[in-house]
């Protein structure tokens, strides 16, 4: 039995409505408890800001796509090099670091749970192997279903039950966590050399539209009672005027679940562009935020961009091809048989580029216009918008109008006409930041019940203590202290163990991978479905028996069982 008590912590725990109370947190065997014995180890938090462990609800840190980003950018491996030190492995890379690099940097920032935004089912083994090598964060994997042929056939027949059954089998087979739709239908169309421009276009060779896929998958998701909702990357990413597609998508969303949202829209910044071409692009963040304010069934994340070099990687192959045509830089494209595709290109977001400045403003506007912070979470779609190490700066920007104004004055002068960021006075408080970085994520991902995102007795003892005296520091003026404070925790505690101190990781990690196993009645078990099996044997390059990921790939897997309503 190991016991630990954190004394004098200035705690913000939005789920329990604790706003800056000075209190003690007792931990026994990796869980928060009411009290511990006097012999427990003591950590003095000295009145510093103490939050539940951070959760990133959309990040690309593992999997073949990220790895291909690494192959493609040997120049990035020259940045961010750290030598082996104590328990820390060698790391390198800035926007696509090594897995340990990702893990240490997240840990230094107090993040203890990360969701990998897109995992191609066929490539799940490699993703899980990289999860194991990202040892300080609990990992979850969104599983791509956007161009899955069996799903699209079920959608064409309007058979939600069949779609749900296929999802259930696939999630259990690849140890995935939730349904991810990336440019639904679009990637598949692109595989045939065509493209989709709106959610009412028909996918070639399949008599379905993106709208059909989204609607059916939302229903299937609820039939399976999955912890997380459908996680969508809307169609038409990064095209001027695409806010209409986004609003149309939001209009499709019914309120199906009282406990959480029905649709999680990711990196909405890339989907909130007005105008018709890159020349007249402008911000439609307020329209998007209005729609979200009116619909509690939708949660989004910012997809903030920050200036500097980074790498875009997404399952949205056609979009990456368009970007490649714009930049003429190196580009990778990848098509995963019957399932999905992906593309990767490096980018440089520059303050000299008006488009980039507008993008920067849109992300912040989305967060500031959304009334309920539970509905707009903080993420950069790492590394697409910016590497996650920029999160502290984003927190600073959200908390301080002065910081925003200072940054704004360095931007391209046309930004003011295209955006309304300069007119927004809202400054977020500590509680709202705590929601946008942990509580909101836990609720949206449906892992609050697993003890994530809060510090109630029974919760996983994931705690981040930041060297910020939150009662003395005024974030509106002393934003530098806020940014610095969020960059390096004094202590990051993971499952009751101090894993990082002052930015240095001090122990070997022992993360878990959460996955979902929906139990379905036997008649819906796809392993016995003749048609499904036949298609599989006919079209896939692997035998169906070899497709599921063996338990050995998840040394510390944690299964979340659900009872499907089929």
Partner 1 sequence: MKVILETKARKKPFLPIEAESIIPRNFLNGTELTVFEGNKERRLSDIFRIFVEGTSVTPEKIEIVLKGDTSRIKRVGEYMDAGKITIAGDIGMHCGNFMSGGDIEVLGNADAWLGREMRGGNILCRGNAGHYCASGYRGEKTGMRGGRVEVLGNAGDCCAEYLTGGEVHIHGSCGDMAGVEMKGGQFIVEGNATRPCGNMKDGTCMIFGTVHEMLPTFEMIGTRVMTDRKVTMTVYKGDIANRGKGTLMIQK
Residues of this chain that interact with partner 1 (CB under 8 A) are 72-76, 78, 328-329
Give the residue with the Cβ less far from partner 1, 67 or 257: 67
Start-to-end CA span in the chain (Å): 42
CB 509 within 8 A of CB 498: no
Residue 407 burial (CB count, 10 A): 21
Q: How far is the CB of 63 from partner 1 (least distance, A)?
A: 21
Q: How far is the CB of 83 from partner 1 (least distance, A)?
A: 12
Nearest to 312 by CA among 49, 26, 68, 10: 68
Would you state the torsion angle of the CA atoms of residues 349, 353, 358, 360, taken in this order, to the nearest 10 degrees? 20
Query: Would you state the structure tokens that stand for residue 373, as one six-digit string?
Result: 């912070």
Give the residue with the Cβ less far from partner 1, 325 or 552: 325
Q: How far is the CB of 347 from partner 1 (least distance, A)?
A: 12
Give the residue with the Cβ less far from partner 1, 66 or 189: 66
Q: How far is the CB of 500 from partner 1 (least distance, A)?
A: 29
CB 301 within 8 A of CB 326: no
Q: How far is the CB of 331 from partner 1 (least distance, A)?
A: 13
| Residues belonging to the chain | 566
Q: What share of the chain is helix, strand, coil (3-state, %, to 5)?
A: 35, 25, 40
CB 322 within 8 A of CB 310: no
Q: How far is the CB of 97 from partner 1 (least distance, A)?
A: 15
Q: Could you give the CA distance from residue 304 to residue 16 in angstroms, rounded to a whole number?
A: 28
Q: How far is the CB of 70 from partner 1 (least distance, A)?
A: 11
- Determine which helix (DSSP H) or strand (DSSP E) holds 212, and give its type and residue range: helix 210-223
Q: How far is the CB of 75 from partner 1 (least distance, A)?
A: 4
Give the residue with the Cβ less far from partner 1, 73 or 489: 73
Give the residue with the Cβ less far from partner 1, 264 or 307: 307
Q: How far is the CB of 311 from partner 1 (least distance, A)?
A: 11
Question: In 140-176, which positions are buried (b, 16+ CB within 10 angstroms) versus exposed (e)?
Answer: bbbbbbbbbebbbbbbbeeebbbbbbbbbbbbbbbbb
Q: How far is the CB of 69 from partner 1 (least distance, A)?
A: 11
Q: How far is the CB of 342 from partner 1 (least distance, A)?
A: 20
Give the residue with the Cβ less far from partner 1, 70 or 438: 70
Q: Could you give the CA distance from residue 194 to residue 454 in angstroms, rounded to a whole number?
A: 46
On the 0-12 / 13-18 / 19+ scale of CB atoms within 10 A, 17 is exposed
Give the residue with the Cβ less far from partner 1, 93 or 238: 93
Residue 494 has φ and ψ, to the nearest 5°, of -120, 120
Q: Could you give the CA distance from residue 246 to residue 183 in angstroms, rounded to a whole number?
A: 11
Parallel, antiparallel, or unpaired for β 49-52 and 463-466?
Answer: antiparallel
Give the residue with the Cβ less far from partner 1, 285 or 344: 344
Give the residue with the Cβ less far from partner 1, 77 or 527: 77
Q: Which 3 state secondary structure label does DSSP give 268?
A: helix
Give the residue with the Cβ less far from partner 1, 78 or 158: 78
Give the residue with the Cβ less far from partner 1, 75 or 406: 75
Number of Cα atoms under 13 Å in the Cβ half of residue 253: 28
Residue 404 has φ and ψ, to the nearest 5°, of -60, -45
On the 0-12 / 13-18 / 19+ scale of CB atoms within 10 A, 475 is buried
């Amino acid at each position: 039995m190991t016991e630990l008590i954190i004394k004098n912590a200035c705690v913000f725990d939005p789920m329990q409505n604790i706003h800056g109370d000075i209190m003690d947190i007792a931990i026994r065997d990796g869980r928060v408890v009411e009290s511990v014995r006097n012999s427990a180890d003591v950590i003095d938090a000295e009145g510093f800001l103490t939050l539940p462990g951070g959760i990133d609800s959309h990040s690309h840190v593992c999997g073949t796509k990220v790895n291909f980003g690494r192959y493609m950018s040997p120049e990035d491996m020259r940045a961010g090099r750290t030598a082996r030190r104590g328990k820390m492995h060698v790391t390198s890379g800035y926007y696509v670091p090594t897995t340990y690099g990702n893990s240490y940097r997240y840990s230094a920032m107090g993040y203890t749970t990360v969701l990998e935004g897109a995992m191609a089912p066929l490539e799940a083994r490699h993703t899980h192997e990289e999860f194991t090598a990202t040892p300080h964060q609990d990992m979850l994997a969104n599983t791509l279903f956007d161009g899955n042929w069996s799903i699209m056939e079920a959608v064409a027949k309007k058979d939600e039950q069949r779609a749900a059954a296929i999802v259930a089998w696939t999630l259990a087979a690849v140890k995935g966590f939730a349904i991810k739709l990336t440019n639904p239908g679009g990637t598949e169309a692109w595989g045939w050399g065509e493209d989709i421009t709106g959610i009412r276009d028909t996918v070639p060779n399949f008599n379905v539209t993106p709208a059909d896929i989204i609607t059916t998958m939302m229903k299937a998701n609820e039939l399976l009672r999955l912890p997380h909702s459908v996680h969508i990357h809307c169609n038409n990413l990064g095209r001027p005027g695409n806010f209409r597609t986004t609003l149309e998508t939001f209009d499709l969303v019914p309120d199906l679940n009282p406990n959480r949202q029905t649709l999680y829209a990711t990196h909405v910044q890339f989907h909130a562009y007005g105008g018709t071409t890159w020349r007249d692009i402008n911000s439609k963040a307020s329209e998007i935020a209005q729609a979200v304010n009116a619909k509690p069934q939708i949660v989004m994340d910012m997809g903030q961009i920050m200036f500097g070099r980074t790498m875009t990687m997404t399952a949205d192959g056609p979009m990456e091809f368009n970007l490649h045509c714009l930049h003429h830089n190196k580009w990778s494209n990848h098509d995963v048989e019957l399932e999905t595709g992906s593309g990767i290109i490096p980018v440089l977001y520059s303050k000299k580029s008006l488009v980039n400045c507008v993008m920067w403003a849109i992300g912040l506007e989305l967060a500031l216009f959304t009334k309920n912070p539970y509905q707009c979470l903080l993420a950069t779609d790492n590394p697409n918008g910016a590497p996650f190490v920029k999160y502290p700066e984003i927190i600073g920007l959200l908390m301080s109008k002065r910081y925003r104004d200072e940054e704004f004055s360095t931007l391209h002068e046309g930004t003011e006409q295209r955006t309304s960021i300069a007119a927004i006075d809202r400054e977020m408080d500590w509680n709202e930041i705590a929601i946008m970085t942990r509580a909101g994520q836990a609720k949206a991902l449906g892992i609050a019940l697993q003890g994530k995102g809060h510090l109630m007795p029974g919760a996983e003892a994931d705690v981040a203590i930041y060297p910020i005296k939150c009662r003395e520091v005024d974030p509106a003026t002393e934003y530098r202290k806020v940014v610095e404070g969020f960059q390096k925790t004094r202590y990051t505690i993971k499952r009751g163990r101090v894993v990082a101190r002052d930015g240095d990781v001090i122990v070997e990690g022992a993360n878990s991978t959460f996955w979902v196993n929906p139990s379905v009645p036997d008649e819906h078990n796809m392993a016995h479905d003749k048609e499904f099996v036949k298609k599989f044997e006919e079209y896939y390059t692997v035998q169906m028996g070899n497709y599921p990921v063996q338990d050995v790939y998840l040394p510390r897997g944690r299964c979340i069982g659900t009872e499907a309503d089929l």
